[in-house]
């Protein structure tokens, strides 16, 4: 078989290989796309089940808390006979119950006689249709139908969710209690639907909508923005019927209005209500398809480039092979010229040790004065040659003679000499030579001065890098570690043997930086730019640290990047100091409360939230009465102690959701979220009373102080300065009225 035939078969086999690779690539990408879609469906199903379970548990826990509150109020109500006492009790209960809009007490006829909302007085709410379906005055907690509106006074029962999607609504709960011979007491609580919707809206990891449904299939409230379709309402009723039959949870595939959906549901057996989640599978699969197309758009060009690269490599190797075959025909003709083409000087000495042959490199080499003198000497011997290469009593003639006489099979060594060019280093390679009757020795002389200088420079550089306090890492273009200095091990806890061949991402990545961060990093260094930045990494012992990182690409003379050099520095202490400075800039150093700047920022945020959600917001301004007198009579240390104790009393009285700050010398401010003016007045009065009842020890002497307070209710048009100014005006009205009192600002016109 000729050479051309073999080449043709090789070309055909390579083409078939390329076609097979393309077919396998297309099939693999198609399989991968289907696998991604199925995995997406499975993931969405699991997430939907988890979110549904969490929603049911949150709903059950909240309603159980309301039930416990109502029962506690009813049981304590037998000891409370006055209307004012009942009303104060109901309002106090609402302060820490954001899930409720109002609490109302019903008489035996079902009419509201006492309520936290005066607009509800005298109403007779309908109690038919409550679940469970028991006697109207049963001791069980019963859940009413959904209503449109804010409270009982303006509520309208929602009968058909296919016609309306209320922007605000509530669900009533009723509980009755009788004890002995006393009258039967009934409480009706209005659930704040927005409280639940806001928490359900936070579960946006899955494209789903929640319906809260009673056992009779009626929707109490929903996170859906559009009105419900007839198919969705029917599906909810069918699932609710299953609850009554004992099917407490499950996953139901469904097609509603030509949309592929997945329904997960769960019910808490303690309550006549459950949660139904509708997952839009089309939206989830669309995202999976988009991801698959993105991956294909990335992989197909890579596969094509790889195949093209393989084709180019094949053609190059084929051309190289053909070229080598042609050059082999003339190699023998060039053997005679081999010595002249060698970069090293080659010398041939006979059995007597006299020079008989040298190549062109030897005659053309300029190695300084020593070699120039050797060229001029006729009949040079091994000893003459060695004399010019000897330095510090090291002579090469002994080893050369040993090879010539058969005492040594070969010799390799380095020698140094001095010339007008300075110190020069040479490598000698000595081998015996025998041809026919000729016996001698060949000596190859290489000038390795540059290599020695480079090695010394490299050693110096290595020593400097090893001594550097910053961690230094060298990787290949795929980020595999090839070298690291000791500072890297001190910083990360990984010895070099543990890190070698691995990627830094496998060792120290903390997961606190997202994919976009690393994408931008790689785009920068792969384009030849130096990247600098800060990130949080993880040591071997799992501890986190802040790191300043600089990565520089290393390119060859053609601009091709072949390595990356990274310099790593631990900046954890600097970051800790920065965080501490930020904290000091926002905190009052004496009381530990927010300073004026931090408080006004919190108040501005609460004003924005109030305007978005239409929740009440009240602001209190409080000032220590006659504080200057305390400083003057007892000293500034005593004044500081008074401020600390007053601040601690306030901190113990406010909720964690409220904002408390020191805004002046002896002046404090409180922003009470979702709190009206009456509740704010109550809190201000409790704080005033607590301060007035507290005795403060000052150097063995006890003193008392009082505070004055002003209350202002924020409105939609208010600014931070505006509402603070009104609260401050009320504060000084309290001061002018005699101090140790609370005043409320008039509402703006």
Q: Which domains does the chain have, with CATH numbers?
A: 45-283 (3.30.450.20), 342-453 (3.30.450.20), 468-576 (3.30.450.20), 587-744 (3.30.70.270)
Chain CA centroid to CA 598, Å: 26
Please give the average per-residue pLDDT across 611-627, as a whole number. Answer: 92
Residue 439 sits at φ, ψ, to 5 deg, of -130, 130
Strand 707-713 versus strand 617-624 pairing type: antiparallel
What pLDDT is stored for residue 391 in this prediction?
Answer: 55
Classify 469 as helix, strand or coil. coil
Q: Which of 446-455, 496-505, 521-530, 586-595 has the lowest mean pLDDT?
A: 446-455
Q: Which residues are catalytic?
A: 666
Token couple for 232: 């969705």
User: Cα–Cα–Cα angle for 687, 688, 691, nearest 5°?
Assistant: 85
In terms of average pLDDT, the best of 150-159, 192-201, 681-690 is 681-690
* Rounded-to-integer distance, Cα 495 and Cα 507, Å: 11
Q: Is the pTM of this model over 0.75?
A: no
Confidence of residue 256 (pLDDT cuts 50, 70, 90): low
What pLDDT is attached to residue 684? Answer: 94
Average pLDDT score over residue span 648-654: 93
The set of residues, in sequence order, having a beta carbon less than 8 Å from that of 716 and lying 6+ positions away, is 610, 611
Residue 369 has pLDDT above 60, yes or no: no
* 340-352 confidence digits (pLDDT tens): 677 777 888 888 8
pLDDT band at 653 (very low <50, low <70, confident <90, very high): very high
pLDDT score, position 423: 72
Long-range CB pairs of 258-266 (<8 Å, 24+ gap) are: 260/285, 262/41, 262/44, 262/45, 262/48, 263/235, 263/239, 264/45, 264/48, 264/49, 264/52, 265/52, 265/239, 266/49, 266/52, 266/53, 266/55, 266/56
**DSSP for 498-547, written as a single string:** HHTTS-HHHHHB-S-S-HHHHHHHHHHHHTT--EEEEEEEE-TTS-EEEE
Residue 308 has pLDDT above 80, yes or no: yes
Q: Is the pLDDT of residue 43 over 50?
A: yes
With 70 as the cut, is the pLDDT of residue 367 above it?
no
């Amino acid at each position: 078989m000729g050479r051309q035939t073999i080449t043709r078969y090789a070309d055909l086999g390579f083409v078939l290989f390329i076609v097979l690779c393309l077919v396998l690539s297309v099939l693999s990408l198609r399989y991968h796309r289907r696998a991604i879609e199925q995995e997406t469906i499975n993931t969405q199903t699991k997430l939907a089940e988890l979110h549904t379970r969490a929603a049911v548990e949150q709903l059950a826990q909240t309603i159980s808390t309301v039930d416990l509150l109502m029962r506690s109020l009813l049981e304590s109500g037998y000891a409370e006979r006055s209307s004012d006492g009942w009303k104060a009790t109901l309002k106090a209960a609402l302060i820490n119950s954001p899930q409720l809009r109002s609490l109302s007490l019903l008489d035996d006829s079902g009419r509201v006689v006492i309520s936290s909302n005066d607009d509800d007085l005298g109403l007779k709410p309908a109690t038919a249709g409550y679940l469970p379906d028991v006697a109207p005055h049963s001791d069980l907690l019963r859940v009413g139908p959904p209503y449109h509106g804010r409270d009982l006074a303006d509520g309208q029962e929602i009968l058909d969710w296919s016609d309306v999607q209320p922007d605000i609504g509530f669900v009533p709960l009723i509980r009755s209690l009788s004890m002995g011979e006393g009258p039967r007491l009934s409480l009706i609580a209005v659930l704040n639907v927005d409280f639940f919707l806001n928490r359900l809206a936070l579960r946006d990891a899955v494209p789903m909508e929640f319906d809260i449904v009673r056992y009779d299939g009626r929707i109490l409230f929903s996170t859906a923005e559009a009105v419900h379709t007839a198919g969705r309402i029917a599906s909810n009723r069918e699932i609710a019927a299953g609850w009554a039959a004992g099917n407490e949870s499950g996953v139901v595939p469904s097609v509603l209005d030509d949309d592929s959906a997945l329904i997960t549901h769960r019910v808490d057996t303690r309550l006549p209500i459950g949660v139904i989640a509708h997952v839009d599978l089309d939206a989830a699969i669309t995202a999976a398809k988009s991801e698959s197309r993105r991956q294909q758009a990335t992989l197909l060009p890579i596969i094509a480039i790889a195949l093209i690269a393989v084709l180019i490599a094949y053609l190059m190797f084929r051309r190289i092979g053909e070229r080598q075959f042609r050059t082999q025909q003339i190699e023998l003709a060039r053997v005679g010229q081999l010595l002249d083409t060698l970069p090293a000087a080659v010398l041939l000495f006979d059995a007597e040790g006299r020079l008989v042959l040298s190549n062109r490199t030897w005659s053309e080499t300029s190695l300084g004065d020593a070699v120039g003198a050797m060229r001029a000497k006729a009949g040079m011997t091994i000893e003459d040659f060695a004399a010019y290469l000897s330095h510090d009593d090291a002579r090469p003639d002994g080893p050369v003679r040993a090879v010539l006489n058969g005492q040594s099979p070969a010799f390799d060594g380095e020698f140094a000499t001095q010339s007008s060019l300075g110190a020069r280093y040479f490598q000698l390679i000595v081998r015996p030579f025998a041809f026919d009757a000729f016996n001698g020795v060949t000596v190859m002389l290489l000038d390795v001065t540059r290599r020695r200088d480079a090695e010394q420079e490299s050693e110096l550089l290595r020593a400097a890098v090893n001594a550097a306090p910053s961690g230094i890492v060298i990787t290949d273009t795929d980020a595999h570690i090839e070298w690291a200095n000791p500072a890297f091990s001190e910083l990360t806890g990984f010895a070099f043997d543990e890190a070698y061949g691995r990627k830094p991402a496998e060792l120290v990545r903390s997961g606190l930086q997202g994919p976009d961060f690393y994408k931008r990093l790689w785009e920068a260094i792969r384009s030849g730019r130096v990247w600098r930045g800060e990130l949080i990494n993880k040591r071997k012992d799992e501890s986190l640290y802040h790191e300043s990182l600089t990565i520089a690409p290393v390119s060859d003379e053609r601009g091709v990047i072949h390595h990356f050099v990274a310099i790593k520095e631990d900046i954890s202490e600097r970051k800790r100091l920065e965080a501490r400075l930020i904290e000091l800039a926002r905190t009052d150093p004496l009381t530990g409360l927010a300073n004026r700047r931090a408080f006004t920022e919190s108040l501005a945020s609460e004003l924005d939230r109030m305007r978005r959600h239409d929740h009440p917001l009240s602001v209190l301004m409080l000032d220590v009465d006659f504080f200057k007198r305390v400083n003057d009579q007892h000293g500034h240390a005593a004044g500081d102690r008074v401020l600390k104790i007053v601040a601690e009393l306030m901190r113990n009285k406010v909720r964690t959701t409220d904002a408390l700050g020191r805004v002046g010398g002896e002046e404090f401010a409180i922003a009470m979220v979702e709190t009206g003016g009456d509740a704010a007045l109550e809190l201000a009065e409790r704080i005033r009373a607590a301060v007035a009842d507290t005795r403060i020890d000052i150097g063995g002497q006890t003193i008392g102080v009082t505070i004055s307070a002003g209350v202002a209710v924020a409105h939609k048009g208010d600014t931070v300065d505006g509402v603070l100014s009104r609260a401050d005006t009320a504060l000084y009205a309290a001061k002018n009225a005699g101090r140790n009192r609370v005043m409320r600002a008039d509402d703006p016109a």
